[in-house]
Structure 1
Amino acid sequence: MTEIKENLQEIKNTIPENVTLVAVSKTKPITDLQEAYDAGQRVFGENKIQEMVTKFDALPKDIKWHMIGHLQRNKVKYMAHFVDLIHGVDSLKTLTEINKQAKKHNRVINCLLQARIAKEDTKFGLSFLEIDEVISSEEFSELQNIKVVGFMGMATFTDNQEQLQEEFSSLATFFTERQNKNSKLSTLSMGMSGDYQLAIENGSNMVRIGSAIFGVRNYIV
């Protein structure tokens, strides 16, 4: 077995069946993605649209592509015909642009609103209040070609387990409260290679794992 295949199997053995594993393949060569695909992986996450487009063109078409990086609105058009889920949506303007591009392809694109849960200034995202304001707005209700299916959060980059616990649980509570009012909300994306098990303990049903599958990140594709 290849190392990638072994890593995938090891991770899948540690996560419940209801948790979706997103293999974060950013900066990794197409050969690595093909290895993961051959091992059964079908969901891949990229943070640069052009890189994702190149990989989409080269790899099997039953792959579900997730855009996990911060999204530039002017680049949505390049992935609108195939992207399965956009994780990091943090404004109504971005949702409007995704809706516009999805409409051109007669698609409904699934989106996650990114909640700002980390104690770091560098993280993007909306406050819980801002999320409520977006999803209760008249403009949002008119967007027919996007579907907000849940929320995404990135915890602080820290070894402090109490802090991670607090951040994950805050978003999980918010998600559960909103899900009780809106059954369309089904996805809570929290957790990466270093903290995904704690995220799952706090209710995450989608984890984004890169280095634990593919090894340390490359900086050239």
Structure 2
Amino acid sequence: MEGVAVAALRSVMLRVRQAAERSGRRPELVRVVAVSKTKPGSLIREAYDAGNRCFGENYVQEIVDKAPQLPEDIEWHFIGHLQSNKAKTLLSGVRNLAMVEGVDNEKVANYLDRAVSSLGRNPLKVLVQVNTSGEVSKSGVEPSNCVELAKHVKLRCPNLEFSGLMTIGMPNYTSTPENFRTLSNCRAEVCQALRMAEEQCELSMGMSGDFEQAIEMGSTNVRIGSTIFGPREYPKKQPN
């Protein structure tokens, strides 16, 4: 695999830059999270040495195992549903955790808030996860409830920093424009309710199959795994 991830990363960054320019925004306003689920630290290190600093994981145990073995200036993102009873494990095990993309209920928000406080760390950035595709298998609040959860995080969780909204999208990692439009509409409602400028509220949408379209529709944060690191490898079932 020597060099393969680096070449793929460079290709992705070029496509991100071109999509950002088509959307009329500067490329540096779009963050690329390299999602390294199931991949070894050596491959993450390759992408790090090529200049990438933002990486994401979906499983608590995996990120807790990997993070201490890799450079401290990595910005780690935890992506997807987090079980509330694993909030403290995640935060204590990953001191350089930059963001949780996937607060989907008040209980998780409260657990994270208390964990940040008990560890005495700086406020943690979080994104509220919205189920834009209406699939019962997907985590996330209904679009009609996104304002209520965003308000809870911003007003009742002093150790969390409400930073925006995210969606997983469709099951094959390609989303229709309606999914992205729904999240964008949620942002407009949240920003109006919280009196925030839309530029202060991130949109995390777009993955390997649809990130260019997502950027063109306003995404500020794309989560790209297999396009950079190759197909995922699942040796055994992992707990979330």
Structure 2 length normalisation: TM-score?
A: 0.84
Post-superposition CA distance 1:55-111 (Å, at most 9, x none): 111000000010003101111112214221000110011000000000012221110
1:3: which partner in 2? Answer: 4
1:36-55 aligned within 5 A: 36-55=47-66
> What is the aligned partner in structure 1 of residue 216 from structure 2?
201
Point out the structure with the larger helix share.
2
Q: For 1:168, give the aligned amino acid.
A: F
How far apart, CA to CA, are the structure 2 residues paired with 1:158 and 1:62? 32
Calculate percent identity across the aligned residue pairs: 37
TM-score, normalised by the number of residues in structure 1? 0.91
Instruction: State the partner residue of 2:91.
Output: 80
Number of residue pairs matched by the alignment: 218
1:4/1:113 Cα in 2 relative to 1: closer, same or farther (>3 Å)? same
Where 2:163 maps in the other structure, the secondary structure is strand
| TM-fit CA distance, 1:177 | 4.0
Gaps of 5+ in 2: 21-26
Counterparts of 1:142 and 1:177 in 2: how far apart (Å)?
Answer: 19
2:142 corresponds to 1:111? no
Compute the displacement of 1:166 (Å): 1.0
Give the CA RMSD over aligned residues.
2.0
Letter in 2 for 1:10: S
Counterpart-to-counterpart distance in 2, 1:30 and 1:192: 21
Instruction: Call closer, same or farther: CA 1:158–1:50 in 2, change over 3 Å.
Output: closer
Instruction: Provide Cα deviations, 1:136-160, integer angstroms capped at 9, x if missing partner.
Output: 45x862321011100001212359x
Q: What residue number does 2:178 align with?
A: 166
CA spacing shift, 1:120–1:128, aligned 2, 3 Å: closer
Cα distance in 1 between the residues matched to 2:72 and 2:235: 24
Distance across 1 between alignment mates of 2:190 and 2:141: 15
Q: How does 1:57-206 map to 2 (within 5 A)?
A: 57-81=68-92, 82=95, 83-107=97-121, 108-137=123-152, 141-157=155-171, 164-179=176-191, 181-183=195-197, 185-206=200-221
Shift of 1:128: 2.3
Gaps of 5+ in 1: none
Where 2:116 maps in the other structure, the secondary structure is helix
Judged with a 3 Å threshold, the aligned counterparts in structure 2 of structure 1 residues 63 and 158 are, in CA distance, closer, same or farther, namely closer
* In 1: Cα distance, 2:172 partner to 2:64 partner: 32
Contact 1:92 1:140 in 2 (8 A): no
User: In structure 1, what is the Cα distance between the partners aligned to 2:162 and 2:70?
Assistant: 27
Distance in 1 (CA, whole Å) between partners of 2:156 and 2:132 is 28
